[in-house]
Amino acid sequence: MPTVTAPASPHILAPAEISAIRADFPLLDREVNGRRLVYLDSGATSQNPRAVIAAEREYYENENSAVHRGAHTLAALATERFEDARATVARFVGAAEDEIVWTSNATEALNLVAYAIGNATAGRGGVDAERFRLTPGDEILVTEMEHHANLIPWQELAARTGAVLRFIPVADDGTLRMDEAARLVNSRTRVLAFTHVSNVLGVINPVAELVALARSVGALTVLDACQSAPHLPLDLSALGVDFAAFSGHKMLGPTGIGVLFGRSELLNALPPFLTGGSMITTVTMESAEYLPSPHRFEAGTQRVSQAIALASAVDYLERVGIDRIAAHETALGQRLVTGLAAIPGVTVLGPGVGRERVGLASFDVTGVHSHDIGQFLDDRGIAVRVGHHCAQPLHRRLGMTSSTRASAYLYTTEDEVDEFLDALSAAITFFGVSA
Ligand SMILES: Cc1ncc(COP(=O)(O)O)c(C=O)c1O
């Protein structure tokens, strides 16, 4: 069991508490290139506490069995654990259990929605699915700051259906052009897909306003919650989104598990994406009838150990307190941008010092490729993300092909941020480009 117990009142994680948290993460103890690891790449993948690693191992040692299939004791036990995990994740994001569909990752969850809408458009799903059918000239609206996972599935859906893909542009300060959003949403808009938090800019988009715009024309909303579910209190029902997606590996969970949230009324009207075992009621040689949500979207043998381990990750986040984690990361995010802005030659992408942003910061160093920065930092044991962060159109909009990103989580310390900032200054001196 993790050693962390949240103190009664403080809003921010105290150094002693962070030390206790860090002691739960075995990987944070390791060295890289002869230096103590400074892990600033949690935006890509977070590290796992012992409890999560143990949950997966214990499942294989004691309960491993096929869920929703067997009549034996182990099968019943595994099914119960699997469904309990769903209930835990549902509660964490303000959803009902039948609104949570397991997928392999957020990418699969977003593809599931796009493909299911495509299936409805192809005539599948009967009268229930009519509401999802697209006709040529209908519009799918995304934003210019989307991760490729919430862009390419919509490009493909548009190509298959004759719908038109449009995008809400990003302002120079990295915020979404809400004036343009209001102009672009119209009676032909059928889907509005957008990220809650940008994985590059750190900006938090105004979900309520975007949902209100979509609702005013009867469009579906699809929220990419990959960078919010792990870091911010999230109540999907209160936000009023129709669908949302996030990944376990970014929130202390294992790889191989993701979540699709959908309002139950919609999930039960949507035709399936993958078909096969475990998602049917009756099958003849000619046709099949499908179970209600969530099982109609969970064809084949499921990711049981991963779901159980993700629930353990959620337990961990809740023990520390997601609101306190958010406050800690906001403070680290401000420390990052303040420090970066003070280094000559460094341009921070997205909102500047004092503006609302999460605990990550991407930046460009004039005259130095992000891969060189990443390599220099790695030599000092500091792990950051370099490249286009799966957001090529956004980088093109910002006039660059790549950037460097430092991202924090609940186990990140102020000292680590400072060590990173010092190393970045040293890199700029090393590459001889400081102003
Ligand atoms: C904003 C955002 N959306 C989607 C994804 C895709 O997540 P996954 O690769 O786990 O499917 C990521 C991961 O980097 C992300 O940051």
Which of 3.90.1150.10, 3.40.50.170, 1.10.10.10, 3.90.245.10 would CATH assign to domain 15-48+321-430? 3.90.1150.10
Sign of CA dihedral 79, 80, 83, 84: negative
CA 420 to chain centroid: 24
pLDDT of residue 11: 64
CA pair distance 378, 365, nearest whole angstrom: 16
Q: Interhelix angle for 304-320 vs 73-92, to 10°?
A: 40
Binding site membership of 161 for ligand 1 (Cβ less than 6 Å): no
Residues of each domain in the chain carrying CATH 3.40.640.10 = 55-317
DSSP-assigned states of every residue in 169-228: PBPTTS-B-HHHHHHH--TTEEEEEEESB-TTT-PBP-HHHHHHHHHHTT-EEEEE-TTT
Starting at the edge strand that comes first in sequence, how are the strands of the sheet with 189-195 ordered? Answer: 100-103, 258-262, 243-247, 220-224, 189-195, 139-143, 164-168
Ligand 1 geometric centre to CA of 149 (Å) = 6
- Whole-prediction pTM value? 0.96
- C-alpha dihedral over 210, 266, 251, 87, to 10 degrees? 130
Binding site membership of 99 for ligand 1 (Cβ less than 6 Å): no
Q: What is the pLDDT along the chain (435 residues), one digit of tens a residue?
A: 344 444 443 467 999 999 999 999 999 999 999 999 999 999 999 999 999 999 999 999 999 999 998 789 999 999 999 999 999 999 999 999 999 999 999 999 999 999 999 999 999 999 999 999 999 999 999 999 999 999 999 999 999 999 999 999 999 999 999 999 999 999 999 999 999 999 999 999 999 999 999 999 999 999 999 999 999 999 999 999 999 999 999 999 999 999 999 999 999 999 999 999 999 999 999 999 999 999 999 999 999 999 999 999 999 999 999 999 999 999 999 999 999 999 999 999 999 999 999 999 999 999 999 999 999 999 999 999 999 999 999 999 999 999 999 999 999 999 999 999 999 999 999 998 865
The three-class DSSP label of residue 256 is coil
How many Å lie between the centroid of ligand 1 and the Cα of residue 147? 7
| Diameter over CA atoms, the chain | 73
- Provide the Cα torsion 36, 37, 40, 45; round to 10°: -160
Report the relative pairing of strands 38-39 and 280-283 from DSSP bridges. Answer: unpaired
**Residues facing 434 on adjacent strands:** none
Active site residues: 390
**Whether the CB of 205 sits within 6 Å of ligand 1:** no
Give, for ligand 1, the residue of 199, 362, 407 to mutate: max count of ligand atoms closer than 8 Å to Cβ. 199
CA–CA separation, 214 and 220 (whole Å): 7
Domain with CATH 3.90.1150.10 in the chain: 15-48+321-430
Q: Is the CB of 105 under 6 A from ligand 1?
A: yes
For the record, the structure tokens of 199 come out as: 């994985």
Q: How far is the CA of 433 from the centre of ligand 1 (A)?
A: 33
Kindly give the distance from the C-alpha atom of residue 224 to the centroid of ligand 1, in angstroms, as a whole number: 8
Closest ligand 1 atom to Cα of 249: 10
Ligand 1: atom nearest CA of 105 is 11
Token duo for residue 8: 């009664």
| pLDDT of 69 | 83
227 lines ligand 1 (CB under 6 A): yes
CATH fold of 55-317 = Aspartate Aminotransferase; domain 2 (3.40.640)
pLDDT at 266: 98
The finding on whether 224 has its CB within 6 A of some atom of ligand 1 is yes
> Which atom of ligand 1 is found nearest the CA of 104?
11
The rounded Cα 404 to chain-centroid distance in angstroms is 19
pLDDT of 262 reads 98
User: Ligand 1 centroid to 16 CA: how many Å?
Assistant: 31
Q: How far apart are CA 222 and CA 142, in angstroms?
A: 9
Q: By alpha-carbon position, which residue is closest to atom 7 of ligand 1?
A: 106
DSSP string, 6-41: --SS-SS--HHHHHHHHHT-GGGG-EETTEE-EE-B
